[in-house]
Amino acid sequence: MRVNYGWVVVAAGAVMTCIAFDAFGTYTWLYVGSFAVGLGAVAIAFAFPPANLAIPKGFPA
């Protein structure tokens, strides 16, 4: 049986949000951090070449 531990990540995110808000008193740094993670994801996506989605010859359309 396969167990899904995604709930741990969700719970950790909520706890970390509370800790960050208590430390800084604002959500600004959470937005900045989320934006940085998003930019990192875009950079990783652009690092890989695009997939070759051409239909091979002889393949029925």
CB 28 within 8 A of CB 18: no
pLDDT at 61: 60
pTM score, two decimals? 0.61
Torsion, Cα 27 32 34 39, to 10 degrees, reads 170
Tell me the pLDDT of the chain (61 aa) as tens digits. 788 889 998 999 899 999 999 999 999 989 999 999 999 999 999 998 877 777 777 767 6
